Structure 1
């Protein structure tokens, strides 16, 4: 069995790049690459902004209530993001993050950010031709998650929308509420998180929302990810993914220098753990091919 070693440092490196995007005013990075797409001059950091119901002038936001919802909780989450970014208010972010005007929490674990209607998609001209405003706004949610998510286990979803609601994007942990001790339910949750992460990446490229694996296979028939046949959990923190034979074999993503099983093991773990809270992460992911002895394993370490 081939063994590859993943690292918490990999995720932190991605987080660092994404945090840089927020502070450099980037729009959408190249999907799946984490590459920055340019910079915009900073806004005036001394400006303050008002939340949906109460004045929000950093750093005088009151402590959040124990219940992870409501205006105080929303203020706490935005305050933490600003603190982690080393700025005085959301107006210290660069474009389009500095367009945030208000925020609230309509229900437990859900945060909504409202940006000015003057928002322009792809202002820096660096987005790929298939990307949309939804991708750019979804990345804003991802950037916030990467900044505060490890300290906010209760945070489920960040929704970003223009104040008129015309444009919007969302990033979510995609939890199902599975009990980790129920290995079948836990494996199902990891599959749901992975498929949602694939949709985050490929929805605009494919031209439709990916809710079923068959849809992704229709879009990219040579990608081994499109042939996941089963996902099982033999023990807590461990997944075994079985690929069905198919068009992916000896094709674009299955070569002498990059085996398909290694590609899936590494990428699938990274996508799942980008959604999962730290204590809910997959620690070991093994990919096998049905009817063969080919396999690859990825390990996740702190």
Structure 2
């Protein structure tokens, strides 16, 4: 699939974009009330959702051992019994990526290589989660992660520039970050909970895509407001408009607060209805999560066996 190479900044398009909040809420309510996954398809949808998870650890006590466990879980996300019951060949069901801090990229790369798992390593960067460091340091952090084996870089945008409507400066910064990523895909985190309104979310989405982002991502997971369906709808509409105008397909990644199987089915429904079936694959749809996989595994086990399992009965590795 051709990567998004970006386009020159179109300030006219950005500044004339405006979001009707009530229309967004109405559309989301319509989706939730009239579009649901039939119970007979839950197993298939949940299994597919696993392939879209960026299995994440972003804790202060991250170390080589817990990153290694995360890599093992990414390569074997559910038990062998569930794999057999689903009729999936061993090794075919994995998560979309493993996401860690730049200092743990080498550990993740080595951990996945050791077990022969063909799963990309994603790294947060650019002063995550706040982005409150100089541009020089943010660019060096991207380069460090890429040099250590990261194939995907989750950068954070400068919220100050977005809030002040300084779109030219934001665009220029993102161009530099895209260049620093090289062949690694750039996922731009908008930190939507700090952008004040849906119009800013839409405009920031456009600027990030114009600068060459391969994905746009809702949140760091550290803000008060993270991924919500109304925000997701607005970002999906921006992705659709950008595709119609440029021909480039840009991926979408909600992150923060997606913890249950019900949550993920709602997000997948939004993808299908707004962007089409292609956005039910990990090439264009990712979910930033750590606890979600545990709940999905418990639900799969329940539907296949009828038994209810405690969270601790579905270990990380």
TM category (shorter chain) comes to under 0.3
The higher relative CO (CA closer than 8 Å, separation ≥ 6) is in 2
Larger fraction in helix: 2
TM-score between the two structures when normalised by the length of structure 1: 0.25
If you compute each CA radius of gyration, which structure gives the higher value, 1 or 2? 1
TM-score between the two structures when normalised by the length of structure 2: 0.25
